[in-house]
């Protein structure tokens, strides 16, 4: 029996290289050794305002990108969260077992609510309960995510443990899997902040579908520092971030990279980085164009994915309802 992987991304904007290096690349690498479920979490996307047509378009685009990056829909289940009612229903039940204090400690909510002030929705506060439902419905063992999601996966584990201690063994306890390098790719314009799809500044992120000239010009404008040496030094966040991206796309070791750029300047680093990123994304972009040439192809994959995931989700939900005494 293979272990189960579950992960997901919100269809709320362009996917960028942070999503690829922090999450999707791991999913593809793990695919053969696990039993996988990859979700497009549209119920999470509506925790902040979304245009209905755009939301649907992002959902299809992200599905196309999962597949283009190497997720095989025959081997792995790919589906849309809102297609399976059990997610919202289990989220409600779990809500009743999550102390307010746990939710109030979530750093992502604290950061996002500072920006949104009074406009912040109750759904955004409650976001981790829905994420816990996603994970726990499928007896998930491991959840490969970027660094920012670790705390949410830990909350899922905590609520599973709490529920099990009250009602007896019901949920499997999930573990987060965070990549050693690339778990937090930073913004090109401001390397002290995470690369984030809700940021709109044009030089902030390299999107997976950016054309080569756009990728190159964004990298040439990336914020660095006034020093010269090209070294992996965490105290110099701009250059460090560019080097990490180089490392992950080139597959070279840090030693090799530092030796290669010895005596060269930032302009050379940025130019060569442009080459490796453009070449690294080229096959994904080509596959994306082929896969999405027929829009009904994506929809049929999503319908098939939901049909395969639904019975598993319903089974867990029925057990939970039975345990709690619902119905
Ligand atoms: P989201 O955009 O919040 O739906 O992110 C989806 C997945 O991508 C999660 O596993 C995140 O942790 C990961 N992710 C998002 N942004 C980054 C980033 N800048 N660096 C690394 N991983 C990221
Ligand atoms: N909250 C995650 C993010 O923003 C997306 C997500 C929702 C997720 N449900 C999940 C990730 C379940 C892993 C497992 O990145």
Tell whether the torsion through CA atoms of 105, 107, 110 and 116 is positive or negative: negative
* Assigned token pair, 275: 């080459």
Q: Judge if 4-178+295-324 and 212-289 fold alike in CATH terms.
A: no
Q: Name the closest-CA residue to atom 9, ligand 2.
A: 131
CATH 3.50.50.60 fits 212-289, yes or no: no
Whole-number Å distance, alpha carbon 131 to ligand 2 midpoint, is 6
Write the CA distances from 207 to 12, 14, 279, integer angstroms: 13, 6, 14
pTM equals 0.96
- Residue 72, SS3 per DSSP: coil
**CB-defined site of ligand 1, < 6 Å:** 9-10, 18-19, 22-23, 145-146, 148-149, 183-185, 194-195, 197
| Percent of the chain residues past pLDDT 90, beyond the cut | 95
Q: Give pLDDT tens digits for 47-102.
A: 999 999 999 999 999 999 999 999 999 999 999 999 999 999 999 999 999 999 99
Q: Give pLDDT tens digits for 13-26.
A: 999 999 999 999 99
C-alpha gyration radius of the chain: 21
Indicate the length of the chain as a whole number: 327
pLDDT of 6 higher than 90: yes
**pLDDT of res. 275:** 98
Half-sphere exposure of 143 (CA within 13 A, CB side): 32
Centre a 10 Å sphere on the Cβ of residue 92 and count the other Cβ atoms it contains. Answer: 12
Q: Give pLDDT tens digits for 125-153.
A: 999 999 999 999 999 999 999 999 999 99
pLDDT of 115 higher than 90: no
Largest CA distance in the chain: 71
Centre a 10 Å sphere on the Cβ of residue 30 and count the other Cβ atoms it contains. Answer: 17
Cα(13)–Cα(16) distance, integer angstroms: 9
143 Cβ inside 6 Å of ligand 2: yes
Partners of residue 54 on adjacent β-strands: none
**pLDDT of res. 110:** 92
Centre a 10 Å sphere on the Cβ of residue 294 and count the other Cβ atoms it contains. Answer: 10
What is the average pLDDT across 108-124?
A: 89
CATH architecture group of domain 4-178+295-324: 3-Layer(aba) Sandwich (3.40)
Q: Where are the domains of the chain?
A: 4-178+295-324, 212-289
Which atom of ligand 1 lies nearest, measured to the CA of 13?
2
Which atom of ligand 2 lies nearest, measured to the CA of 152?
1
Whole-number Å distance, alpha carbon 263 to ligand 1 midpoint, is 34
Whole-number Å distance, alpha carbon 7 to ligand 2 midpoint, is 6
Q: At what angle do helices 52-69 and 295-324 cross, to 10 degrees?
A: 100
Whole-number Å distance, alpha carbon 291 to ligand 2 midpoint, is 24
- Residue 98, SS3 per DSSP: coil
């Amino acid at each position: 029996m293979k272990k189960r992987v579950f992960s997901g991304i919100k269809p709320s904007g362009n996917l960028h290289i942070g999503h690829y290096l922090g999450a999707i690349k791991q999913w593809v690498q793990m695919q053969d050794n696990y039993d996988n479920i990859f979700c497009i979490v549209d119920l999470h996307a509506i925790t902040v305002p979304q245009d209905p047509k755009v939301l649907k378009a992002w959902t299809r685009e992200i599905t196309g990108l999962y597949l283009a990056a190497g997720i095989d829909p025959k081997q792995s289940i790919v589906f849309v969260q809102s297609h399976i009612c059990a997610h919202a229903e289990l989220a409600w039940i779990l809500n009743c077992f999550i102390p307010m204090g746990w939710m109030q400690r979530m750093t992502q909510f604290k950061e996002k609510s500072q920006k949104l002030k009074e406009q912040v929705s109750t759904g955004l506060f409650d976001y981790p309960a829905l994420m816990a439902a996603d994970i726990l419905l499928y007896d998930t063992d491991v959840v490969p995510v970027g660094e920012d999601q670790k705390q949410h996966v830990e909350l899922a584990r905590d609520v599973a443990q709490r529920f099990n201690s009250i009602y007896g063994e019901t949920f499997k306890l999930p573990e987060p899997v965070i990549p050693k390098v690339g778990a937090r790719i930073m913004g090109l314009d401001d390397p002290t902040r995470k690369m984030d799809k809700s940021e709109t500044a044009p030089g902030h992120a390299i999107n997976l579908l950016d054309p080569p000239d756009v990728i190159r010009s964004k990298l040439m404008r990336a914020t660095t520092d006034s020093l010269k040496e090209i070294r992996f030094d965490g105290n110099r966040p701009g250059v460090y971030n560019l080097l990490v991206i180089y490392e992950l796309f080139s597959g070279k070791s840090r030693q090799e990279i530092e030796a290669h750029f010895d005596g060269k300047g930032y302009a050379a680093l940025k130019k060569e980085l442009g080459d490796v990123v453009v070449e690294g994304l080229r096959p994904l972009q080509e596959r994306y164009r082929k896969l999405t040439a027929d829009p009904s192809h994506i929809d049929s994959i999503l319908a098939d994915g939901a049909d395969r995931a639904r019975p598993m989700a319903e089974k867990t939900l029925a057990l939970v309802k039975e345990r709690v005494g619902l119905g």
